Amino acid sequence: MEGEKVNVVIDLVNEIANISDFRPMVKKQYCNLARRLKLLIPLFEEIRDMKDSIPNDTSKALVLFKDALDSAKELLRFGCEGSKIYMVLERDRIMNNFYEVTARLEQSLDGISYDKLDISDEVKEQVELVLTQFRRAKGRVDEPDAKLYEDMSFLYNNSSDAAIDPAVLSQLADKLQLMGIADLTQESLALHEMVAVSGGDPGARIEKMSMLLKKIKDHVQIENLVKDDTKTAKGVSAGFYELGENDANHQAPAIPSDFKCPISLELMMDPVIVSTGQTYERSCIEKWLQDGHGTCPKTQQSLTSTVLTPNYVLRSLIEQWCEANGIEPPKRPSTSEPSKSASACTPAERSKIESLIQKLTSGGPEDQRSAAGEIRLLAKRNADNRVAIAEAGAIPLLVGLLSVPDSRTQEHAVTALLNLSIYESNKGSIVSSGAVPGIVHVLKRGSMEARENAAATLFSLSVIDENKVTIGSSGAISPLVTLLSEGTQRGKKDAATALFNLCIYQGNKGKAVRAGVIPTLMRLLTEPSGGMVDEALAILAILASHPEGKAAIGAAEAVPVLVKFIGNGSPRNKENAAAVLVHLCSGDRQYIAQAQELGVMAPLLELAQNGTDRGKRKATQLIERMSRIREQEQHEVPTQTELQAQNDDIHPPLIINLDIDT
C-alpha cells in the first residue's frame, strides 16, 4: 500500500517534468520548480524499494507532499497553457500562488524522517540541496518587466484607440509572443477557458483582457499585411497566410474546430458567450432558447442568464483566418457596442428622445410618467439608444423621479436607469448624478417590480469597485437583505447578486451580517424548492472570512447543513460549503468535532479526490486540520495549507444573472 503511494508521487513528478514551454513572464521560476522536483525522483525510488515499513510521520508527510504536487501541477500547467495577458496583469497573484505552493512543497518535504529511512548519503545531499533551493525561492522576488506591465495596464484601462502608440502595440506583441494566428487563437481560447472554469466573469475583467487582445491582434494583422505587399505573388505573409490567393492548387481549408458553432458545426459569423462560458453562433443559440431550452447545449449545465455576450476576440480571429485563407470574411453584425460619440440613432429617433427629455423637464406628472416609460423601453432596445439618451441629459432627470410619490413613475425611472447602466460609460454618470440614495429609496418603498429592478441596478453599478463603497454607505444593504428574505424568486436573485458583489468589499461584510443576512441565507439553504442554494452558499463563503460573519454562521447552527451539501451538493456547492466550514473550524474545535460526528470525513475524502480545484483545496485543508487535532491536542501550529484559505476566498465563484428589463 505504501509503495503505491510512493508510485503515485513518482508518476506526478514525472508528469510535472514533462510540462515545458512556459510563458515568458513565468518561465524562469516555473522551469526551476519543475527541475527541482525532478531531482527528487531518486529519493522516492529509494523509499519505494525499502524493505522496512515507512514510519508514520513520513507516510503523512508523503500525503501532504502529494497534495502539494497536485497544486504544483495545476500551477505549472497554467504557466504553460494559460493567458499571457492575465499573467502580466495579475503577476502579483500568480507569484503569490507560486510562493505558497513552493512553501507547501518545502514544508511537507522537510517533514520526512530521513534519519529513520535507509536512504543513501548522495540522495540525502541532493534532497538537502532541493530544500535549500525551495527556501531561497520563498524569499527571492525577481524584478518584473515594469515597462511591459505599465503599457499593458494603460491599454487595459483605456477604452479609446486614438491615443495608442503603434510602437507600444508592436513591443507588446513581440514581448508576449503574439505574432501569428496560432498564438492569437491560443491566447483567446485561454482567456475564454478561464471564464468557463470560473463559471462566469462577474467583474468583466476577462472581457477587458479580451478587448486588449483584440487591439494587439488588429495591430499585428495590419502590420503584417503591410509587410506582405511585396510577397503576395508567392503567397507568403509573415506568419499569417499559409496559402497565397494566387495559388492555383489552393484547396478549401478545414475550418478550425474552435471557429465552428457547436450547434450548427458551421463557421460562426456572430459568436456569443453564454453564462456557462461556452461560445455559439448567435442565431443558433437564440433559436435554442426560443424553443424553450434552459441549458447549455454543449455542457448541459443550467443557464443562469439568457444574456448573450459578444465574443469580439474570436470573431476577429475568424475574420483574420478567413482573409488568410482566401475566404470572404463573415459580415460584422451591427449590434456591437458603440463608442461614446457614436451617432448611430436616426434623426427621427434623436428627435423622439429630445421630445421625451422635454416632457421630463417641463411636463406634468402624467407626461413625466409616460416619458419615463418610453425612455425605459428605448434604453432596453439597444446600446445606441443608451448612449443617445445619456448624451441628451436624461440621467439627472430620471434620478429626480426616483423620489416622486407615484409608484409607477418610480418604477419606470429606476428601470430606465438599470437599462442605461448596462452601457459601461453610463455607470459613472448615474452615480455622479446622485442616483444611489434615490435607488435605495425605491428599494425600500417601491412596488415589488421596482424593488427588484432597484436591486439589479445596484448590482450593475457596483461592478465598479469604488461604487461598492458608495452603495454600501448609502444604507442599501439592509433593504437588500429584506428583499432577499421576502421577495419573489426573481427579487431574491436580484438581491443576492447585488449583495454578493457588494460584500466583495471588506467594509460591507460586517454591515451585511448586522443586517441579518446570515439567518436569511440559512433559511434559503433549507427551502424545499432549493432555488437559491447556489447564491446563498456563495455569499456565505464570502462572509465566513469576516469575524462577525464567522460568529453569526456558527450561531446559526450551520454545520449540519454544510456537511449535507459537502456530501450531496453540486460541485460548486460542495466547494463553497467546504470553504465556509474551513473558516468555521479555524480555531473552533467544537465545530470540527461536530462535523466529524456528522460523518463529514467520507465526503471530504471524495471531494479531495474528485472535486473542483478549489473544492479539493478546501477539503484538503479540513482533512489536514482534523488529522492534526486528533494527533496533537496541544501546541497546534497552523499549516501552510490553512493559511492559503485567506486568499482563496476573496472571490468565490458565483454566476451572475443580470438581465435587461423585461
* pLDDT tens per residue, range 274-327: 877 788 888 888 888 877 778 888 887 888 777 777 776 677 778 767 766 667
Q: Are residues 133 and 40 in the same domain?
A: yes
Q: Give me the helices (H) in 487-532, please.
A: 489-502, 506-514, 517-525
Can you give the CATH number for the domain in which 302 is found?
3.30.40.10
Residue 334: C-alpha distances to residues 94, 382, 383 (Å): 38, 11, 11
Q: Are residues 31 and 109 in the same domain?
A: yes
Question: 544 CB contacts (<8 Å, ≥6 apart)?
Answer: 550, 553, 579, 580, 582, 583, 584, 649
pLDDT for residue 659: 46
Confidence of residue 9 (pLDDT cuts 50, 70, 90): confident
Confidence of residue 212 (pLDDT cuts 50, 70, 90): confident
Confidence of residue 157 (pLDDT cuts 50, 70, 90): confident
Arithmetic mean of pLDDT, 379-390: 83
Q: Are residues 117 and 100 in the same domain?
A: yes
CA proximity to 462, closest of 442, 435, 488? 435
Arithmetic mean of pLDDT, 637-654: 52
pLDDT for residue 288: 82
pLDDT for residue 239: 31
Arithmetic mean of pLDDT, 600-617: 87
Question: Which of 175-179, 429-433, 447-451, 571-575 is predicted with the least confidence, judged by mean pLDDT?
Answer: 175-179
Q: Is the pLDDT at 620 greater than 60, yes or no? A: yes
Sign of the four-CA dihedral 74, 79, 85, 89: positive
pLDDT for residue 192: 66
Write down the pTM of the prediction. 0.49
Confidence of residue 244 (pLDDT cuts 50, 70, 90): very low
Q: Is the pLDDT at 493 greater than 50, yes or no? A: yes
Question: 205 CB contacts (<8 Å, ≥6 apart)?
Answer: none
Do the beta carbons of residue 518 and residue 583 sit within 8 Å? no
Q: Is the pLDDT at 335 greater than 80, yes or no? A: no
Arithmetic mean of pLDDT, 122-130: 85
The verdict on residue 457 lying in a domain is no
CB-side neighbour CA atoms (13 Å) of 245: 12
Distance CA 242, CA 472 (A): 55
Confidence of residue 411 (pLDDT cuts 50, 70, 90): very high
Q: Is the pLDDT at 242 greater than 50, yes or no? A: no
pLDDT for residue 331: 63
Q: Is the pLDDT at 415 greater than 80, yes or no? A: yes
pLDDT for residue 227: 44
The verdict on residue 512 lying in a domain is no
Q: Are residues 2 and 133 in the same domain?
A: yes
Q: What percent of the chain has pLDDT over 70?
A: 81
Helix (H) or strand (E) holding 459: helix 448-461
Q: DSSP 3-state assignment of 393?
A: coil
Q: Is the pLDDT at 336 greater than 50, yes or no? A: no
Q: Are residues 267 and 318 in the same domain?
A: yes
Q: Are residues 305 and 209 in the same domain?
A: no
Extract the C-alpha cell encoding 326: 482566401
Sign of the four-CA dihedral 608, 611, 616, 618: negative
Confidence of residue 181 (pLDDT cuts 50, 70, 90): low
Q: Are residues 198 and 109 in the same domain?
A: no
The verdict on residue 432 lying in a domain is no
For 634, phi then psi, to 5°, come to -110, 160
Q: Domain end: 200, 224, 248, which one?
A: 224
Extract the C-alpha cell encoding 255: 475550418
Residues 503-553: pLDDT tens digits? 988 889 999 999 999 999 999 998 877 788 888 998 999 899 898 999 999
Q: Are residues 287 and 312 in the same domain?
A: yes
pLDDT for residue 642: 54
pLDDT for residue 254: 75
Instruction: Let me know how long the chain is.
Output: 662
The verdict on residue 377 lying in a domain is no
pLDDT for residue 182: 62
Distance CA 35, CA 29 (A): 10
Q: Are residues 19 and 97 in the same domain?
A: yes
Q: Are residues 212 and 282 in the same domain?
A: no
Q: Domain end: 324, 346, 370, which one?
A: 324
Domain that holds residue 284: 257-324
pLDDT for residue 375: 92
Q: Is the pLDDT at 78 greater than 60, yes or no? A: yes
pLDDT for residue 482: 94
Q: Are residues 110 and 79 in the same domain?
A: yes
Residue 230: C-alpha distances to residues 181, 218, 223, 324, 494 (Å): 20, 20, 13, 16, 58
Confidence of residue 430 (pLDDT cuts 50, 70, 90): very high
Q: Are residues 14 and 87 in the same domain?
A: yes
Q: Domain end: 288, 308, 324, which one?
A: 324
pLDDT for residue 351: 83
Helix (H) or strand (E) holding 5: helix 2-17
∠ CA(175), CA(256), CA(181), 5° rounding? 20
Return mean pLDDT, the chain. 79
The verdict on residue 120 lying in a domain is yes
pLDDT for residue 560: 93
Arithmetic mean of pLDDT, 613-641: 73
The verdict on residue 619 lying in a domain is no
Residues 94-113: pLDDT tens digits? 888 888 888 888 888 888 88
Do the beta carbons of residue 279 and residue 330 sit within 8 Å? no
The verdict on residue 497 lying in a domain is no
Confidence of residue 562 (pLDDT cuts 50, 70, 90): very high
The verdict on residue 115 lying in a domain is yes
Arithmetic mean of pLDDT, 397-425: 91
pLDDT for residue 196: 55
- Please count the structural domains in the chain: 3
Task: Report CA dihedral (43, 49, 54, 57) to the nearest 10 degrees.
Answer: 10
Confidence of residue 245 (pLDDT cuts 50, 70, 90): very low
Confidence of residue 263 (pLDDT cuts 50, 70, 90): confident
